[in-house]
Structure formats: C-alpha cells, structure tokens
Amino acid sequence: MRKKIAAANWKMNLTWQQGNELVQALLGATPSIQDSHQVILSVPFPYLASVNSMVQSTSGYQVAAQNCHHLAAGAYTGEVSAIMLASLGIPYCLVGHSERREYNGETNAVLAEKLQRCSENSIRPIFCCGEPLTIRDQEQQNEYVARQLQESLFVLSKEQVGHAVVAYEPIWAIGTGRTASSAQAQAMHQHIRKVLADHYGQELAERIPILYGGSVKASNADELFGCPDVDGALVGGASLVASEFTAIVRSLCKS
Ligand code: PGA
C-alpha cells in the first residue's frame, strides 16, 4: 500500500524562531504517526539540518528541501546541490514547484536533470505538476500534465520512480483560496496514475503516492482525502499555522 502523506511547504516564510516554534507545536500536537502515514516538512535551506534533527526522534516525520540544483557541483554561487542535501541526511526534495517553474524558468528538461540528481543521491523527489488556468479553460489539462510527467519524471527508471512522490498542484488553486473540487482532484489523480501505469506498469503506479496541492486547509482536507486516488496533500499557506496543519495531519491519519 502507498503511504498517505501530509507535506508542508513553508516556501520563503518564517524566521528561524517562528519555524522552530511551529515544529515544536506540531510535534507536541501530533506526536505519533502510524507507519502507513507520513508528515514531511519542506523548509528553507538554512533550517534543514536543525529541523531534520528535531524530527529524528518522532516516527513518521521527515524533512524536505524545496529545491536543488540540476548539476552535481561547481562554480554556481548561491546554489545547493543534491549531494549537499544527501550529506546532511535530507530524505526528500521538492522538484518542479510551479513557483520555481514560473520565477526561475525551470523547464521540463531542467527538472528531468534535477530528478536524476536526487535519485543518484538517494533523495526521494516530490515531483510537482499542474496546469495554469488558461489550459484548464481550454480543457487541455490532461495532455498538459501528461507532458510534464513524460518530459521530466519519465527520466527515472522503474526502480527510481518507486521512491518518488507526485504532487498535483493546479496553478489556479495555489495561494488563491480556490481549491479544485474533490471531483476535479480525483479525475486528475486518476489520470496521472493511468499515465504512470502506461509507462511503468499498473503495479508500480499503484505504489506511487499522488498528493493534491492548492489551497488545502483544515476545512477541505477531509473531503479531498476521501478521494481514492488522493494520497495526501502538499500544503502551503495553511502549513504555517500550527492549528491548521495539525488538523490537516489529523484528517490524514483518519483517512
Ligand atoms: P497553498 O500552496 O496551499 O498556499 O495554495 C500550495 C503549494 O504551493 O504547495
């Protein structure tokens, strides 16, 4: 059975003091997570090592980087490689978040390289995909998302993709307060699983967690987690508020 995952994405928010308090509040409120479930905290680079050690003693909690460079090493001032993350014992890394695609010009081809760097270093990628509103309005979202998977994720071998997580985040739902309906989320997740199955086989596709992201909050989590192909959530804004994210984790644990 695939894991159910609640992943927080802090983005470029919170001072270290605020982040530290938030992690302590989360660990205090939801101390034990069963094996079938997982909470992942995607925190800014400077906080990774500290948050990683804070969650070590609590089962079910892991950390993720929000990005890594597509090359192994070299003269790239200000960048962070997958090798560096691996050397700190960071288990997960977001790859292809729509904000990075938009503001940093990350293409499907560059993202394929990032996925390779993660896999080479035994870092599990959380591969983000999702369409902009113009594509949704033209009802081209299935083709658009399939192309993102084909041109990036499919660089991974069967063995490598078995360690990956996919996050479907329709761009029109990110930070807008406008969530995809549970029917829209389920339809896309089912489509993604079929695209994965066509390439990697049904058995492997059934094992890959597919998270939904885009204005997930405590109030809509139950409904989203009730969808058979929605295996959890990637949560931005609501992950910055301890009570909200804790409620989302509790919803996940019930699902
Ligand atoms: P949001 O962000 O929950 O604030 O919409 C989700 C994300 O970008 O991962």
Domain range holding 120?
4-254
Q: From ligand 1's centre to the CA of 115, what distance in Å? A: 21
- For residue 130 and ligand 1, the question of a CB distance below 6 A is answered with no
**Active site amino acids:** 97, 169
pLDDT value at position 105?
A: 96
Counting the structural domains of the chain, the total is: 1
List the CATH number of the domain containing 237: 3.20.20.70
Cα 136 from Cα 65, distance rounded (Å): 29
Report the SS3 class of residue 88: coil
Closest CA to 59 of 81, 80, 31: 31
pLDDT value at position 79?
A: 98
Sequential pLDDT tens for the chain (255 residues): 899 999 999 999 999 999 999 999 999 998 678 889 999 999 999 999 999 999 998 889 999 999 999 999 999 999 999 999 999 999 999 999 999 999 999 999 999 999 999 999 999 999 999 999 999 999 999 999 999 999 999 999 999 999 999 999 999 988 787 788 999 999 999 999 999 999 999 999 999 999 999 999 999 999 999 999 999 999 999 999 999 999 999 999 998
Cα 78 from Cα 241, distance rounded (Å): 29
Residues with Cβ < 8 Å from 22, sequence gap 6 or more? 14, 240, 242
pLDDT value at position 57?
A: 87
> Per DSSP, what are the bridge partners of residue 234?
7, 213
Cα 241 from Cα 196, distance rounded (Å): 34
Among 234, 239, 240, name the best residue to mutate to test ligand 1's pocket (greatest count of ligand atoms within 8 A of Cβ).
234
**What is the C-alpha end-to-end distance of the chain, expressed in Å?**
13
DSSP annotation of 46 reads G
